[in-house]
Copies of this chain bind each other. A is one copy, B any other.
Amino acid sequence: MIFLKNDYSLGCHPIVLQALVDTNMELHDGYCEDEYCRKAADRIRKLVKCPEADVHFLPGGTLMNLSALAAFLLRPHWSVISADSGHICVHETGAIEATGHKINHVKTKDGKLRPADIEDVLIFHEDEHYVLPKAIYISDSTETGLVYTKEELQALRACCNEHGLYIYLDGARLPMALNSEKNDVSFEDLPQICDAFYLGGTKCGAMFGEALVIVNDALKEDMRFLIKQRGALLAKGRLMGVQFDALLEGGLYLDLGDQAVRMATQLAKGIAGKGYEFYLPQETNMVFPMFPKEQAEFLATKVMFETYPVVTDTHQCIRLVTSWGTTQEEIKAFLELI
């Protein structure tokens, strides 16, 4: 079977694995208070050119989103605005609501949030009979594999400044976004735009672990209490420090994103070359071709992928995902099938 189902099914990149092996028998303080976490945090601060940022390591994406939003949505009546395809809306089993906060869902075509969407929510929330939107949640790349341009992000920042909203960016697939042909954003732009964001590890070469970067001073205080209270302060936190240290050494992190995106680009071009259409454009490591239904069924016998809930009378959309481990052979093999 060709594997194009997701980007978190392999273990970690061999270089990351070696770092874990090399440091395994070292003794370190627990709970991310070790030298590897400090070193990795320093690397991240340099990478994003924000020496004052706070950096925290958490073991997974949902845990990151729920801990961060529980911390940033300071008051029980504060809510967060998200595209309705946002991970926090649909793939986290109500984790944000379970921390007591409403998500203001916005219907979008492509999974990207825009100033007009925010305005639409705000105008409707007029007094104390409504929740008070206080943050926006965006992902780059989005759940639909698309990226924000710098201009789009700056427009969001301007809108959020005007209305006193925080911007929290889910970067589970940040290195894929930054390697998109559509992308003009760099690491160092992020602290200019976001109050907080995270660099994904799980889908980007690590075994597990994500790195939260808090830019806004107002969001920094006591974050470790919140992380601990949500169960996200790993006893052997150094495991994440070791991994991010290895990923950020010599640009491996970005390279792995590049590999994933290049494979998806070849895939999309190959599919397009054979005359198929797409539900959404390919910008990062996801491809959404529309296949005749019989062909989709045939492919399912040879390839691991997920169907996407877009269907016509004759066609079915499927979601193909590449990762840092996807090879040119797999892409070729897939293209030969169609």
Binding site for B on A (CB under 8 A): 3, 6, 8-12, 14, 17, 20-21, 23-30, 59-67, 70-71, 74-77, 79, 90-95, 97-102, 105, 124, 128-132, 202-203, 207-208, 222, 224-236, 239, 309, 325
CB distance from A70 to the nearest CB of B (A): 6
Q: How far is the CA of A99 from the CA of B95 in the complex (A)?
A: 11
With known contacts A75-B222, A222-B128, A231-B230, A28–B9 Cβ distance under 8 A:
yes
CB distance from A120 to the nearest CB of B (A): 11
Question: Closest residue to A66 on the B side, CB-wise?
Answer: B231
Q: How far is the CA of A95 from the CA of B67 in the complex (A)?
A: 12
List, sorted by A's number, 18 A–B pairs whose CB atoms are closer than 8 Å.
A9-B29, A9-B30, A10-B27, A21-B21, A64-B231, A66-B231, A75-B222, A79-B94, A90-B129, A92-B129, A94-B131, A94-B229, A95-B229, A97-B131, A98-B230, A128-B224, A132-B225, A231-B232
Contact A231 B130 (CB under 8 A): no
Contact B93 A229 (CB under 8 A): yes
Q: How far is the CA of A70 from the CA of B21 in the complex (A)?
A: 36
Q: How far is the CA of A8 from the CA of B208 in the complex (A)?
A: 18
With known contacts A62-B231, A236-B202, A21–B26 Cβ distance under 8 A:
no
Contact A226 B92 (CB under 8 A): no
Q: How far is the CA of A309 from the CA of B95 in the complex (A)?
A: 32
CB distance from A123 to the nearest CB of B (A): 9
Pairs of residues from A and B, 10 with the lowest C-beta to C-beta distance, nearest first:
A63-B231, A11-B24, A77-B225, A94-B102, A94-B131, A93-B229, A128-B224, A62-B231, A97-B102, A93-B228
Question: Closest residue to A29 on the B side, CB-wise?
Answer: B9
Contact B17 A77 (CB under 8 A): no
Question: Closest residue to A14 on the B side, CB-wise?
Answer: B24
CB within 8 A of A325: which of B25, B66, B77?
B25
Other A-B pairs, 20, CB within 8 Å; known A63-B232, A95-B231, A128-B224: A9-B28, A11-B20, A11-B26, A17-B24, A59-B208, A60-B231, A62-B231, A71-B76, A74-B74, A75-B222, A77-B226, A77-B228, A90-B129, A94-B101, A95-B228, A105-B105, A128-B227, A131-B229, A132-B225, A208-B239
With known contacts A11-B239, A236-B8, A239-B11, A77–B222 Cβ distance under 8 A:
yes
Residues of B within 8 A of A233 (CB): 62, 128
CB distance from A62 to the nearest CB of B (A): 4
Q: How far is the CA of A182 from the CA of B232 in the complex (A)?
A: 34
Question: Closest residue to A239 on the B side, CB-wise?
Answer: B207
CB within 8 A of A93: which of B77, B91, B234?
B77
Contact B77 A229 (CB under 8 A): yes
Q: How far is the CA of A93 from the CA of B104 in the complex (A)?
A: 12
